[in-house]
Structure 1
Amino acid sequence: MLQLDSSPALLVIDMQNGFCHRQGSFAKLGIPTDPTAIVPRINELRSAFRAANLPVFFLRTTYSADYSDRRARDRADRLEELQGLMRGTWDADMLDELTPRPDENVVDKTRRSGFLRTTLENTLKERGINHVVVTGVGTDVCVETTARDAFQLDFGVTTVSDASGTVDESDHLAALHALRNFGGTAWTAEVMEALQELSQKKSS
Structure 2
Amino acid sequence: MNKALIVIDYTNDFIADNGALTVGEPGQKIESAILEKVNQFHQEQEFIVYAVDIHEENDPMHPETNLYPPHNIRQTKGRELYGKVKDQYDMIKQKSHVVWLDKTRYSAFVGTNLDLILRERGINEVHLVGDVTDICVLHTAVYAYSLGYKITIYKEAVASFDQVGHEWALRHFENALGATIK
Same fold (TM over 0.5): yes
**What residue in structure 1 maps to residue 163 of structure 2?**
169
Q: How many residues align?
A: 174
Identical counterparts, % of pairs: 26
Quote the Cα distance in structure 2 between the aligned partners of 1:96 and 1:33. Answer: 13
The residue type equivalent to 2:6 in the other structure is L
Quote the Cα distance in structure 2 between the aligned partners of 1:126 and 1:85. Answer: 29
By how many angstroms is 1:23 displaced? 1.3
Q: Give RMSD over aligned pairs.
A: 1.8
**What residue in structure 1 maps to residue 21 of structure 2?**
26
**What residue in structure 1 maps to residue 83 of structure 2?**
96
**What residue in structure 2 maps to residue 15 of structure 1?**
10
**What residue in structure 1 maps to residue 35 of structure 2?**
43
**What residue in structure 2 maps to residue 195 of structure 1?**
none
By how many angstroms is 1:69 displaced? 5.9
**What residue in structure 1 maps to residue 138 of structure 2?**
144
Change (3 A) 1:107 1:69: farther
Deviating more after overlay: 102-111 vs 60-69: 60-69
Q: 1:58 aligns with which of 46, 50, 55?
A: 50
* Contact 2:21-2:68 at 8 Å conserved across structures: no
The residue type equivalent to 1:157 in the other structure is I
By how many angstroms is 1:135 displaced? 0.8
Is 1:127 the counterpart of 2:121? The answer is yes
Ranges in structure 1 where 5+ consecutive residues have no aligned partner: 1-5, 188-204
Q: 2:112 aligns with which of 99, 110, 118?
A: 118
**What residue in structure 2 maps to residue 107 of structure 1?**
101
The residue type equivalent to 2:161 in the other structure is V
The residue type equivalent to 1:53 in the other structure is Q
Q: Computing the radius of gyration over CA atoms, which structure comes out larger, 1 or 2?
A: 1
By how many angstroms is 1:162 displaced? 1.2
**What residue in structure 1 maps to residue 73 of structure 2?**
86
Ranges in structure 2 where 5+ consecutive residues have no aligned partner: none
